[in-house]
Structure 1
Amino acid sequence: MKFDIHTHHYRCGHADGNIRDYIESAISAGLQVIGISDHTPYFGREENQAFPLISMGKSELGNYVQEVLQLKAEYAGTIDVLLGIESDFFPQHAEIYRDTLSKYPFDYIIGSIHQVYDVSIFNKNRWKKLTPEQHIAVKKEYYRLIQDSARSGGFQILGHLDAMKGNYPAFSDIPAVEVIDETLQVISECGVAIEINTSGKTKLSGGWYPSDSILERALHYGVDVTFGSDAHTPSRVGDELSEVSSRLREIGFKEWVYYKQQRKVIVPL
């Protein structure tokens, strides 16, 4: 079975195409399951759409859910359309995110860290003038937030686990291996899956999130894995799915998962 649980569309302000375009692309790619998972609004701000080029406005959330559910019914029997969403994790706003999202019938929620110390993880300028000790501190804080997101109980899946390397490939070489092992242990204990996200090819790092070395340790700790292209254009739906599947088998994984009605579905590799 072929699936892709991480896709976006025009509402977030930085993706192309509408939801139907992504579904049709999934069908063309031979997928049986397609998850729609656009970015949540910023619920911690009073404005309707605090960041128009990053996430949808609050007023669009209901429309988004309704459109996905309508298309799910329309495409029933052709492809299984899942209602997902990608949520930021801000500890100080976790409750309002949880309360708001609980009002909708999401099949799954992807929890992703996009900011550390209030700066985007993809902002390569954030690293300028930092000492080696500060590099380590930032990396540890990033993974501490991932740990907290796993413990929050608000997510079935954690998104792009080492994406802070996206526009700063040297992030991977910052010496803090112990925090990664600790993070994977927490994720395993919390029963949350991590995605293999192929959108790293659109950043300076290239490759996938997370790295093979992290996936090897994830297997050791018994962490579930899933697949997400993180497509922001319809043509990327299912991108490198077969290659990821083959790599996981080489590493030693026997299965991967996705979520439907917030219940884990196991798929043999």
Structure 2
Amino acid sequence: MKFDLHTHHDRCGHASDNIKDYIESAIRAGLHVIGISDHSPYFAHEKDHPSPGIAMARSEFPNYVAEVLRLKEEYKDRIEVLLGVESDFYPDQLELYRASYEPYPFDYIIGSVHQTRGVSIFNRNRWKDKGEAAQLDEKKHYYELIRQSANSGLFQVLGHIDAMKGYYPGFADIAGAEAEIDEALKAVAANDLSIEINTSGKTKDCGGWYPSDAILERALHFGADVTFGSDAHLPGRVGDEWELVRNRLREIGFRRWVFFRQKRKVLVDL
């Protein structure tokens, strides 16, 4: 069974085309399941649409859900469409986000740490003039937030868990945060969640998937499940490198991966 849980569309302001285009692309790619998971609004911001190039307006969120549910029904005989969302994780806003999602029948919610200490994880400038100790502190803090997100009870999938390397490949080489990474992975396993293998890293400076093979090997060791997400911002990337990822997971030693339907884990043999 071929699936992709991580896709975006034009509502977020930095992806192209509409939801239907991604579904049609998934059908052409031979997928059986396509998850729609655009970026969550900034629910805590005083403005309805504070960052048009990053996330949808708060007032647009019900329309997003309604459109996915309509397309789920329209395409039910051709492909299974899942209702998801990629949610930011802010510890101090957790209950607001939880309440914002509660009215809707999500199949899954992807929890992604996109900011630490108020700065985007993709901001190259955050690393300027930081010595080894400060860089290590940043990495440890990042994985502490990922561990907290795993323990929050809000998410089924954790998104791109080493994406800080996206525009700073040296992030992967910062040594000393192994304990924090392991604790995050243990929390994923303990809470019966999944981390995603996200192939969008190939479009960034790091040039590879999220997470690294080393983290995937640790995930297997701790019994954490994995899922697949292209993180497509163009319809043509839906399902991108799915076969390559499946083969690599087999080589590492995984025997299954998963997706979520009505927030329940569906097991798929590799």
> What TM-score, normalized to structure 1?
0.99
Q: Specify every segment of 5 or more residues in structure 2 that has no aligned partner in the other structure, as ranges.
A: none
Aligned to 1:161: 161
Equivalence for 2:58: 58
CA–CA distance in structure 2, aligned partners of residues 134 and 14 of structure 1 = 31
Alpha-carbon deviation of 1:242? 0.2
Partner of 1:243: 244
Report Cα offsets for 1:115-173 as digits up to 9, x if no partner: 01100000011000011110000000000000000110000000001000000000001
1:193 equivalent in structure 2: 194
Equivalenced residue count is 269
Deviation at 1:186, TM superposition (A): 1.6
For 1:212, the aligned partner's letter is D
Structure 1 residues 150-207: Cα deviation after superposition (integer angstroms, max 9, x where no partner): 1100000000010000000000011122211121112111211000000001110011
> Given the alignment of the two structures, is residue 6 of structure 1 paired with residue 6 of structure 2, yes or no?
yes
Task: For 2:72 and 2:119, locate their aligned partners in 1 and report how far apart those are by CA, in whole Å.
Answer: 36
Post-superposition CA distance 1:214-267 (Å, at most 9, x none): 001100000010000000000000000000000000000000000001110000
User: What is residue 256 of structure 1 aligned with on the other side?
Assistant: 257
In structure 2, the residue matched to 1:265 is 266
Taking only the aligned residue pairs, the percentage that are identical comes to: 63
The answer for unaligned runs of 5 or more in structure 1 is: none
**CA shift digits 1:84-123 (9 cap, x unpaired):** 0000000111000000101111100000000011000000
Instruction: Say if 2:77 is the partner of 1:44.
Output: no
Distance (whole Å) between structure 2 residues aligned to residue 148 and residue 183 of structure 1: 8
Q: Secondary structure at the match of 2:81?
A: strand
Letter in 1 for 2:76: A
- Specify the alignment match of 1:228 in structure 2: 229
- Give me the TM-score of the superposition, normalised by structure 2: 0.99
Matches of 1:249 and 1:113, distance apart in 2: 27
Q: Secondary structure at the match of 1:227?
A: strand
Answering whether residue 37 of structure 2 is matched by residue 28 of structure 1, we say no
* SS in structure 2 of the partner of residue 258 of structure 1: strand
Note the C-alpha offset of 1:46: 1.2
Distance 1:266 1:221 in 2: 18
3-state DSSP class of the match of 2:268? Answer: strand
Report runs of 4+ in structure 1 exceeding 2 Å deviation. none
Aligned partner letter, 1:240: E
For 2:84, the equivalent position in structure 1 comes to 84
